[in-house]
Structure 1
Amino acid sequence: MHEKYLFVKYLIVGVANTLVHAIVFFLGILFLSQSLANLLAFFVAATFSFFVNAKFTFKSSPKKWKYFSFLGFMGGLSYFVGYFCDNLQILPIFTFILHCLLSLGIGFLFSKFLFKERDM
């Protein structure tokens, strides 16, 4: 599939993923630190987007090793962003925006690698 259309599909799933992430994150910070709330929000939203991207965007099978690889790599990024923002006492809205921007670019590249056709 042409790279541009692949990214558009990824972006559409990303919008839904972002809404899920936002709801969980902003509810989570009522009870948790930003790092833990961001990590929890990531796991909920990433599970949704992993399975939708596997089928809809990359037309690949959602295998367990891919799922855990994705969660591990992107979960580490998610926690690091929250940890960084906690230490710098950055407002939660900026933590959320920074996480979304980094996840979009890095997540797309990692997903493309993870869902290569040779793994189907």
Structure 2
Amino acid sequence: MFKLFLKYASVGVINTLIHWTSFFILNEFISQGLSNVIAFSIAVTFSFFINSKFTFKSNVSLYRYLIYVIFLGVLAYVIGEIAENIAVNPFMTLLSFSLVSLIIGFLYSKYIVFKE
């Protein structure tokens, strides 16, 4: 299971780079909110397809894609709202989400999304 987690984490590093790069490029032309939604969508789509084939060696389906994207989107929103309510520095929010989504996202992917 540790080897599987390392594969998932390596995809997560690339996913984070895609998200941040997309965000900063888009933010030159559109608002932060819209930039973040689009960047998240690009990154989570990449992550889904790579994790499906590379990490979990599983078939791709619309159902799996939707439960993956919706779950991670809700997780991002909830962590952001909690951080906003307790006045956490935005950088710490980003770090917290990255850590929480890595662990919870892995378990959710392994036992729900890509369960065979």
- Greater RCO, CA 8 A, separation 6+: 1
Number of equivalences: 112
Cα-Cα RMSD: 2.1
Q: Residue deviations 1:5-44, cap 9 Å, x none?
A: 111111111110111222344565x8235xx665443322
Q: Moved runs in structure 1, 4+ residues, more than 6 A? A: none
Gaps of 5+ in 1: none
Structure 1 position 86, deviation (Å)? 3.0
TM-score (norm 2): 0.82
Asked if 2 retains the 8 angstrom alpha-carbon contact of 1:38 and 1:78, the reply is no
> Within 5 A, what are the aligned runs for 1:103-114?
103-113=101-111, 114=113
Q: Contact between 1:58 and 1:115, CA under 8 Å: does it hold in 2?
A: yes
Cα distance in 2 for partners of 1:17, 1:40 equals 13
Matched residues, percent identical?
Answer: 46
Distance 2:88 2:6 in 1: 31
